């Protein structure tokens, strides 16, 4: 952990993400207005001291909506990647540890899933479900586990041949002990790095889906759907489009910096 | 080599069947079909007429029977006709008995998406290669830092947001570029030069947007590949022989660093096809992404299945092409494949 935070990339990423987390958690305290309160006397006001990021077409305060939207982006990113990583670890571990026909079946399934253009797959599933934040998380999770599976499998395959694992096996360690005590802990670094980078892409996918109207539904705010509103008013109200995009950019940048930094810091080869 | 090719082509078949089965199940898992989306447009549609319609489209049969029927038609490459768009053929044009040709939906949409993707790939390679090389040759100096910053921003920037901003900047504020569609009015009457210029103007922003992520990824990839290769023994040997720095960098290092790029380009195909959905919907481009989005919204099953199947087949072909190109470029791999 210390080594990871002394890496400048990881540190700057960590600071960015931590600040966004604080803002999102403290949203009810910081937000100057109710994010869903409509005010017809304050429609499309440009940014001012009272409305830091202006107001939208229904007179709602964009800054307050941005703060609450941050909660959605962070939550979706983490839960979706949690689901994908869990599936990836289980399937990858089974594949890499037991090998044989189970491995063949799982790997061919991975091939099939990877051959379907990802965004089409997500779109096909999400459009058939009622759009909600929970469905978004589940669908992103269920369509992004393939990379982790391949990685965990490759780690297991290479670790299986190492002396310390052979030693444990010779001493009569059971499957579960080998997997959970020896193989999995030694595969954690690449799993952590890929999860952090995965959160970045999940945040992007969520905002894209919300932008298409398939994500978080109004009146609840998410960065993606503030942008969708912004699209309608782009000729008169640039602030509606500028701020949510910047927020997504900074969040994704933060996760990418953290992930790349962790990779540099934790990889013994560099 | 041809034996290897045949084997790979043969393996695509079970993969495609798997893909189609999964797509089919996903489609039918969720409630709703074309009759419910059409009924929402026409509230007068009675339950009885809906049932009749379901029977016509075979939607009343069990999923596995429907899949069987679909597969039976697929054997003759018959993708069927669209539920939503007046029975238009999904894939390729057909002639009715009066000799009227009705164009296939994918037939019209695919060339547009392919054109955008091929041009973005050209742009990606033309820009990312020099960036990656410059970055590697100046490791940890100012140019490298600047390019790395660009790479990180390129990865993080939401394409649809940049698209909106650029649309606003170039189309609304300055009126430089058209902001939607693929042709201006009166396109048919223009000379071919004017036609090409008009298309390019319409496609400039979409191409730029869809190449951004790839630009960042490939520059980073070329940089890291170059750095790896530059530390190899044979580069030291080349330098020790007294070869000029240019020969070392471009003949010895770059050519080897580029090899894995072939695989990366092959793997990026599904992203390019799928990533077009948002760009196409923003710029109102009638490509595969837009077609898919509309089909999904209407629960137009034959169109959804057609696009998923063709998109996946293109992806598999792309991967195969990448592997073949790799074997062609790298004698070590070629020998491995032959054995």
Q: Does B137 touch chain A if contact means CB atoms closer than 8 Å?
A: no
Of B80, B83, B49, B53, which is closest to residue B67 (Cα–Cα)?
B80
Considering only CB atoms, which chain B residues are within 8 Å of A212? 277-278, 281, 293
Considering only CB atoms, which chain B residues are within 8 Å of A203? none
Indicate the pLDDT class of residue B180, thresholds 50, 70 and 90.
low
In this structure, chain B runs to a length of: 339
Query: What's residue B118's pLDDT?
Result: 83
Q: Does A116 touch chain B if contact means CB atoms closer than 8 Å?
A: yes
Query: What's residue B304's pLDDT?
Result: 83
User: Which residues have a Cβ under 8 Å from the Cβ of B258 and sit 6 or more positions away?
Assistant: B129, B222, B225
Instruction: Give me the residue from A116, A124, A257 closest to B27, CB to CB.
Output: A124
Kindly determine whether residue B273 and residue A117, on different chains, have CB atoms separated by under 8 Å.
Answer: yes
Q: In chain B, which among 145-184 make CB contacts under 8 A with chain A?
A: 152-153, 155-158, 160-162, 164-165, 167-168, 172
Smallest CA–CA separation between A117 and chain B, in Å? 4
CA distance B108 to B106: 5
pLDDT means per 10 residues in chain A (270 residues)?
A: 74 91 86 76 75 76 87 90 94 89 89 80 76 84 90 88 84 83 85 90 87 78 84 80 90 90 73
DSSP alpha helices (H): ranges in B140-254? Answer: 142-156, 159-166, 192-230, 233-240, 245-246
**B331 pLDDT above the threshold of 80:** no
Task: Give the phi and the psi of residue A83 in degrees, each rounded to 5.
Answer: -60, -50
**B138 pLDDT above the threshold of 90:** no
Query: What's residue B141's pLDDT?
Result: 85
Query: What's residue B250's pLDDT?
Result: 82
Query: What's residue B71's pLDDT?
Result: 79
What percent of chain B stands above pLDDT 70? 80
What is the CB neighbour count within 10 angstroms for residue B4? 15
Q: Say if residues A263 and A19 touch (Cβ distance below 8 Å).
A: no
Residue A266: CA count within 13 A, CB half-sphere: 19
Query: What's residue B271's pLDDT?
Result: 67
Kindly determine whether residue A238 and residue B168, on different chains, have CB atoms separated by under 8 Å.
Answer: yes
Q: Torsion angle, CA of A43/A45/A51/A56, rounded to 10 degrees?
A: 50
Q: In chain A, which among 207-266 make CB contacts under 8 A with chain B?
A: 207-208, 211-212, 227, 230-231, 234-235, 238, 241-242, 244-245, 248-250, 252-253, 256-257
Indicate the pLDDT class of residue B337, thresholds 50, 70 and 90.
low
CA distance A186 to B21: 37
Smallest CA–CA separation between B304 and chain A, in Å? 8
The residue that leads in pLDDT, B51 or B205, is: B205
Write down the pTM of the prediction: 0.83
Q: Which of A235-244, B62-71, B312-321 has the lowest mean pLDDT?
A: B62-71
Of the segments A64-78, B253-267, B298-312, which one has the largest average pLDDT value? A64-78
* Adjacent-strand bridge partners of B89: B81
Smallest CA–CA separation between B99 and chain A, in Å? 35
Domains and CATH numbers, chain B: 109-299 (1.10.3720.10)
ipTM over 0.85: no
Q: Does A142 touch chain B if contact means CB atoms closer than 8 Å?
A: no
The residue that leads in pLDDT, A147 or B28, is: A147
Instruction: Find the mean pLDDT for residues B278-302.
Output: 81
Query: What's residue B201's pLDDT?
Result: 77
Cα Rg, chain A, nearest whole Å: 22
* Adjacent-strand bridge partners of B113: none
Secondary structure (3-state) at B101: strand
């Amino acid at each position: 952990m210390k080594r990871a935070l002394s890496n400048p990339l990881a540190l700057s990423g960590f600071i960015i993400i931590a600040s966004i987390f604080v803002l999102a958690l403290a949203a009810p305290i910081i937000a100057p207005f109710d994010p869903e309160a409509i005010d017809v006397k304050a429609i499309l006001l440009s940014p001012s001291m009272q409305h830091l990021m202006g107001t939208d077409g229904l007179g709602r305060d964009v800054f307050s909506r941005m703060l609450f939207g941050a909660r959605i982006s962070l939550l979706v990113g983490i839960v979706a990647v949690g689901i994908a990583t869990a599936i990836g670890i289980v399937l990858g571990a089974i594949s890499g540890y037991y090998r044989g026909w189970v491995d063949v079946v799982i790997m061919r399934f991975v091939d099939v899933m990877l051959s379907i253009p990802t965004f089409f797959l997500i779109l096909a599933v999400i459009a058939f479900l009622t759009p909600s934040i929970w469905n978004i998380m589940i669908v992103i999770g269920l369509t992004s586990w393939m990379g982790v599976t391949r990685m965990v499998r490759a780690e297991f395959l290479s670790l299986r041949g190492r002396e310390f694992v052979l030693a444990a096996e010779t001493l009569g360690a059971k499957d579960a002990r080998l997997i959970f005590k020896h193989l999995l802990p030694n595969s954690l670094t690449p799993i952590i790095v890929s999860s952090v980078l995965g959160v970045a892409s999940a945040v992007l996918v969520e905002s894209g889906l919300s932008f298409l109207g398939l994500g978080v539904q109004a009146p609840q705010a998410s960065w993606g759907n503030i942008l969708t509103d912004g699209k309608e008013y782009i000729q008169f109200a640039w602030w509606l489009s500028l701020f949510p995009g910047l927020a997504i950019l900074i969040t994704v940048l933060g996760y990418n910096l953290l992930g790349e930094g962790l990779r540099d810091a934790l990889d013994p080869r560099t | 080599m041809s034996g290897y090719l045949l084997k790979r082509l043969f393996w695509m078949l079970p993969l495609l069947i798997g893909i189609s089965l999964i797509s089919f199940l996903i489609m039918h898992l969720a409630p709703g079909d074309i009759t419910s989306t059409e009924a929402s447009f026409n509230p007068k549609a009675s339950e009885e007429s809906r049932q009749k319609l379901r029977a016509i489209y075979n939607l009343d049969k069990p999923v596995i029977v429907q899949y069987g029927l679909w597969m039976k038609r697929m054997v003759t490459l018959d993708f069927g006709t669209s539920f939503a768009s007046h029975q238009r053929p999904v894939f390729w044009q057909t002639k009715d008995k009066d000799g009227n040709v009705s164009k296939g939906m994918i037939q019209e949409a695919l060339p547009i998406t392919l054109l955008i993707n091929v041009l973005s790939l050209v742009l990606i390679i033309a820009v990312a290669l020099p960036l990656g090389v410059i970055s590697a040759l100046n490791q940890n100096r100012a140019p490298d830092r600047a390019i790395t910053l660009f790479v990180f921003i390129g990865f993080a920037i939401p394409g649809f947001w940049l698209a909106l901003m650029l649309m606003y900047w170039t189309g609304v504020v300055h009126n430089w570029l058209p902001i939607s569609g693929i042709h201006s009015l009166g396109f048919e009457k223009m000379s071919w030069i004017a036609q090409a210029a008009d298309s390019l103007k319409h496609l400039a922003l979409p191409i730029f947007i869809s190449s951004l992520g790839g630009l960042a990824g490939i520059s980073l990839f070329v940089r890291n590949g170059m750095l790896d290769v530059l530390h190899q023994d044979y580069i030291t040997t080349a330098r020790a022989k007294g070869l000029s720095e240019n020969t070392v960098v471009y003949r010895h290092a770059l050519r080897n660093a580029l090899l894995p790029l072939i695989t990366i380009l092959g793997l990026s195909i599904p992203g390019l096809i799928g990533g077009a959905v948002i760009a196409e919907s923003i710029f109102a481009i009638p490509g595969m992404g837009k077609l898919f989005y509309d089909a999904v919204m209407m629960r137009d099953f034959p169109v959804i299945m057609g696009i998923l199947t063709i998109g996946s087949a293109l992806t598999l072909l792309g991967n195969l092409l990448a592997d073949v190109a790799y074997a062609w470029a790298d004698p070590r791999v070629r020998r491995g494949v032959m054995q």
